[in-house]
Structure 1
């Protein structure tokens, strides 16, 4: 089950469950679309994978399975995977 992290791990932008701006990697690292496109260049700084739009949890499931409450904030100052992966499609990394 997805954790539904509610903030961008880089800029702390609010990304509630129904946000259309939330992007996740395969490990659920969560960033806003702006950071993914303009800073990370679709390369996760934690694993080197690509990002996809995060799905929303159905509203009737939010009480039983609420979004994660704590924040994961790791300002990206250097992406060790960027140089090696930014010109490779995510499904071929």
Structure 2
């Protein structure tokens, strides 16, 4: 199973390259660092923890 490297923050619509820092939950909801901090690292969709997404090589 491969991660879907989404390219847009789901909260503010900021563009995120696959090599850029981003945060995801277990369902791969994707958020930029600023929005993640503002949401206290909690996904607003599922309530799960937001963790750093691996960077693409």
Runs of 4+ in 1 over 6 A off after TM superposition: none
How many residues are treated as equivalent by the alignment? 56
Which structure has the greater CA radius of gyration? 1
In structure 1, what is the equivalent of residue 11 of structure 2? Answer: 10
Which TM-score applies when normalising by structure 2? 0.89
Deviation at 1:52, TM superposition (A): 0.8
Equivalences for 1:1-93 in 2 at 5 Å? Answer: 1-20=2-21, 22-38=22-38, 40-58=39-57
CA distance in 1, matches of 2:25, 2:8: 14
Structure 2 residues not aligned, in runs of 5+: none
Larger helix proportion, structure 1 or 2? 1
